[in-house]
Structure 1
Amino acid sequence: MNVRARNNVRIVGTEQGPTVMLAHGFGCDQNLWRLVTARLAPEFRVVLFDHVGSGASDPTAWDADRYSSLQGYADDILELTKELDLHDVVFVGHSVASMMGVLAVRADPSRFAKLVLLTPSPCYVDDAEYRGGFSRADIDELLDSMESNYLGWSQAMAPTVMGAPGQPELSDELAESFCRTDPARARVFARATFLSDNRADLGGVHMPTLVIECAYDAIAPRGVGAFVHDHIAGSALLTLETTGHCPHLSAPEETAKAIAAFARAT
């Protein structure tokens, strides 16, 4: 299968600049990076794509078994870097895509230079001293709600995820993005996302890493960012003074500046 078509790859920006790959989170697509992309493109070569099952990816590429775990998405990322012959990639993963990036660089770090983990969570479920933000009952209720009424779930969940009540148009956009995703595929992706536990994988990252969290995030609380930072040796932690789980939409200027500064640093 043509990997470019499978993942609806789009490359913008300057050919001479460092390569930044932007990976979207659950229920989203590459278009949600547009405000950050516009700010990065004058200086960087920006690689955008849609995960299989999302956006304008090839629907024939969907495989419920492959995409029932985050490793399937990580394998796609590695295939993309090889097919496009990318080197020294600054990989930026939003939300669950941050853990896809962790898995990808653990498997084959040779094509990557740096990692940016934007509002990451290695585990959404509380466990002993770890606080992921949800109980297992919370996650089961969330998944049951998706199963019974996906469109209703999308409308109800989007404002919580976006966390920007002063910008209701952004919650509407996220809800529309959720609703464009095939419900059956979204449910598989949701289970892979919210039931994942990648805490043990963090220690296998051995490259410059920036963890970006928001001051208030209902999906990935402050302590989660600190946990990721503490478990990736040599990583940096940056807290954006904004709310919500999608700062690339709600605070694109600050998000783009953070990515650019880290990407260009030597």
Structure 2
Amino acid sequence: MGQGIWKRNNVQVLGSGRHTLIFAHGFGSEQSAWRHQVKAFQDRYRIVLFDHVGCGQSDFNAYSPHRYRGVHAYAEDVLELCEELNLADCTLVGHSFSGMVGVVAALADPSRFRQLIFVKTTPRVLNDPDTGYVGGFSRAELDAFFAAMSSNYYAWASGFAPLAMGNPERPALGLEFARTLSGMRPDIALAIARIVFQYDHRADLPRLKIPSLIVHAGEDLAVPNEVGEYMARLIPDSKLTTIDASGHLPHLSAPLAVNRALAEYLAAAA
């Protein structure tokens, strides 16, 4: 373990404080996306950053489609990280699919976590007509999505990034997301996308006993507001807060609003 996980997941430990915040990025992103939160919190908290295998500056040689075939493998990496750093009673801030990584990790070893904070997280992207669940995408839309990724990944990334980011009046944001998406190996990106856009962790939500904050915002291509309300209904000890922001990456597009929501929740639980 030891040096292995530091290199494998490009682990960085910053700041100081008795309480630790683990920031976990979403699909196609990397730890640098949390820079505004790091700047805001590193004077009061110990901060752990990492890149999921296959993303950012992680060790791409550590990627195996056999191992990383579901959210559980990424949760195991987080728990290994906690063990390596001797972390307990910490707060995991998970963007998008990393929120579900946090759920699975907390169900496996709740002693590691005091709180979970979900930023634009969803337990299922695919709509479920049988139950009336609105996830955001139909099966036909996902099939077209995967076909476009397979056909020309870099063209897909440059087109998808600004749509996901929103805020078209600030094109630099979309370009940043396109850069991190394009930094992934296309075969790995497609494999992870198939996991993220097809998993279903709705049944895990009522089992979660860790206090949780659900941060939602406005218009979002990937996660409609109904999803945040759904999570708040199913997670027993949860709070839903809606911030003034749009797009799927509000920690980049509206960092002050995200930081305020995090600070208020962390202070209330201190």
Report the TM-score range of the alignment, normalised by the length of the smaller protein. Answer: over 0.9
Q: Deviations over 1:185-233 (max 9, x none)?
A: 1111100100111111111110110000112212100100000111101
The 2-side partners of 1:11 and 1:258 are apart by 23
- Aligned residue for 1:216, secondary structure, equals coil
CA shift for structure 1 position 7: 0.6
The 2-side partners of 1:192 and 1:218 are apart by 18
Q: Deviations over 1:118-162 (max 9, x none)?
A: 001111111121000110111111011101110011011011110
The 1-side partners of 2:163 and 2:204 are apart by 28
Q: Is the 8 A contact 1:39 1:253 kept in 2?
A: no
Identity rate, percent: 41
Residue 85 of structure 2 is matched in structure 1 by 84
The 2-side partners of 1:77 and 1:143 are apart by 27
Q: Please, which runs of 5 or more residues in structure 1 have no aligned partner?
A: none
- Aligned residue for 2:217, secondary structure, equals strand
CA shift for structure 1 position 265: 2.1
- Aligned residue for 1:242, secondary structure, equals coil
- Report whether the alignment pairs 1:227 with 2:204: no
Give the root-mean-square deviation of aligned CA atoms.
1.0
Q: Is the 8 A contact 2:89 2:114 kept in 1?
A: yes
Kindly indicate whether structure 1 or structure 2 has the higher relative contact order, using CA contacts under 8 Å at least 6 residues apart: 1
Residue 54 of structure 2 is matched in structure 1 by 53
Which of 136, 140, 143 is 2:139 aligned to? 136
Q: Is the 8 A contact 2:72 2:104 kept in 1?
A: yes
Residue 204 of structure 1 is matched in structure 2 by 207
Q: 4+ residue stretches of structure 1 with deviation over 6 A?
A: none
Residue 33 of structure 2 is matched in structure 1 by 32
TM-score (norm 1): 0.97
Residue 246 of structure 1 is matched in structure 2 by 249
The 2-side partners of 1:182 and 1:236 are apart by 37
Query: Within 5 Å, which residues of 2 pair with 1:128-207?
Result: 128=129, 129-207=132-210
TM-score (norm 2): 0.96
One-letter amino acid of the counterpart of residue 27, structure 1:
G
The 1-side partners of 2:223 and 2:168 are apart by 18
The 2-side partners of 1:66 and 1:93 are apart by 21
